[in-house]
Structure 1
């Protein structure tokens, strides 16, 4: 637990700086979307490419952990759907409960795994991201299409194309190809991408802090509590149980649990806005799970360490 706490402190400190910059108006609110887009579209793919292109996969056994993460997300999606008759709310709010219970902030977990477990942790989280981002997004789009509030028919093709062309996925795939062909692992291009990648995580964490909306915590508190409970308590148990059953042990088990225990991602708010979800509830979920995860993440990893 000491290792995770030591890694969490600088991460949450940077998130706090982002919140302070926005609140103090040193960086006005209208500037942060551009910062987020730069980090997400330009810098994060470079980071993932740099990590995966240089990884030594001969010394890393990742398949069971990646499978456990995929099955974990599918299981959480199935659980929330099964609980829908018991969740007394309207369709748009249910879609935000679903997104809040399933979505994860991969880049925050990438930063945490890198600080806690080094290169092996960084590579494993990167590969889990490329395997699970399409799965999570397809589930979310499907639920929003069925239960979201639509003034017109959603442009599903456009949304699916956005999933396929996700910059994070493309960065991972390009890195894997470069690794296989032994390209761009050294030299000027590799150095440029590595330098760009080093700027990605600090900017992402600053943007997470700037996006915290404490007023949204008042939106549908019962549903917000349910969503946070699903994401921070139930999900790590589900992910850890599946990983254990698949024989995942040690640091890999802890990383899979970290993925399950991740706070929510701001992309849930964006998709809710596009496809008729409850934007306010999604904003509250991201804020609540980000704050609470400072406590729940170390506990979840400590438990995984004890049993793994």
Structure 2
């Protein structure tokens, strides 16, 4: 079995188990939302903290790597804005297309990077998540404030919610500990580490449970466009920027994986809150998750 399959099959396998659990009715449908929130908001900050707190950042091409990552997210926003005049779709639907091309499922890519590259992959994805969470949320809220049907956002409230996002707090605390070399007692470290280890299996199960094939019937042609932009164009953008800036090795592959990530469930939540096209967002989340089972192995194989 190839190294790519060896790394990806456990991750995709847990997603499939999540889908089976949802289909089996072992847990009521209403339980999956709280499970996802627990993993995302309650446990995931711990894995970001432990990833960054003791990382050897001196071994990473940190400047070019982070510049390529941020440039990738800005580049996808620019591409989606550039095609806006060509699309004969309502404003709220466009905001969901914007979210589909600009958001990424960082925790899914974190699981893949850990499976493929261990601690090095974990640190690199954690750093991108720390930078991308405020950036992508600001991009998407701005798009919804212009073209969405909801009330215009209170930007002070938006910025406050972003800055107090548990993932931002977890990664920020990890960076502070790393920068100041703050000692963490082993019992406390082991507790935080154990909490973080529980996050990824729950996230992957929730991804599988959230697959909604009925939702893919909403705007199928537009779904094809958003999946193409996210799973085909975005990897090229991130990888191309990495190459241009001299990023190499595992870091370059992580950039590729970041671009190749499917959409995130938070797009559906924000679409409902701020007047986007929530059914289309739900369809895109499922479609991009399904097709990434093909495109991620393809990109990794092509990269060699």
Q: Give TM class, smaller chain.
A: over 0.9
Aligned to 2:210: 211
User: Which runs of structure 2 are paired with 1:23-172 in the superposition (5 Å)?
Assistant: 23-150=23-150, 152-172=151-171
Aligned partner of residue 26 in structure 1, secondary structure: coil
After alignment, is 59-68 or 179-188 more displaced?
179-188
Aligned partner of residue 182 in structure 2, secondary structure: coil
Aligned to 2:286: 287
Given the alignment of the two structures, is residue 196 of structure 1 paired with residue 195 of structure 2, yes or no?
yes
Structure 1 residues 57 and 153: CA distance shift in structure 2, 3 A = closer
Deviation at 1:261, TM superposition (A): 0.5
Aligned to 1:250: 249
**1:236–1:261 Cα contact (<8 Å) kept:** yes
**2:61–2:247 Cα contact (<8 Å) kept:** no
Instruction: Give the root-mean-square deviation of aligned CA atoms.
Output: 1.4
After alignment, is 44-53 or 59-68 more displaced?
59-68
Deviation at 1:184, TM superposition (A): 4.5
Deviation at 1:165, TM superposition (A): 1.3
Given the alignment of the two structures, is residue 22 of structure 1 paired with residue 22 of structure 2, yes or no?
yes
Structure 1 residues 31 and 82: CA distance shift in structure 2, 3 A = same
Deviation at 1:5, TM superposition (A): 2.3
Given the alignment of the two structures, is residue 237 of structure 1 paired with residue 260 of structure 2, yes or no?
no
Q: Distance in 2 between matches of 1:62 and 1:163?
A: 23
Q: Distance in 1 between matches of 2:155 and 2:33?
A: 24
**Deviation sequence 1:234-266 (CA, Å, 0-9, x none):** 000111111100001111111101000101100
**1:228–1:289 Cα contact (<8 Å) kept:** yes
Q: Distance in 2 between matches of 1:302 and 1:12?
A: 17
**2:264–2:285 Cα contact (<8 Å) kept:** yes
TM-score w.r.t. the length of structure 2 is 0.96
Q: Distance in 2 between matches of 1:220 and 1:97?
A: 11
Q: How many equivalent pairs are there? A: 304
Deviation at 1:62, TM superposition (A): 2.5
Structure 1 residues 72 and 153: CA distance shift in structure 2, 3 A = closer
Structure 1 residues 67 and 2: CA distance shift in structure 2, 3 A = farther
**2:96–2:276 Cα contact (<8 Å) kept:** yes
Deviation at 1:54, TM superposition (A): 1.5
After alignment, is 35-44 or 180-189 more displaced?
180-189
Q: Distance in 2 between matches of 1:149 and 1:6?
A: 45
Given the alignment of the two structures, is residue 4 of structure 1 paired with residue 17 of structure 2, yes or no?
no
**1:269–1:283 Cα contact (<8 Å) kept:** yes
**2:96–2:267 Cα contact (<8 Å) kept:** yes
Unaligned runs of 5+ in 2: none
Q: Distance in 2 between matches of 1:102 and 1:6?
A: 29
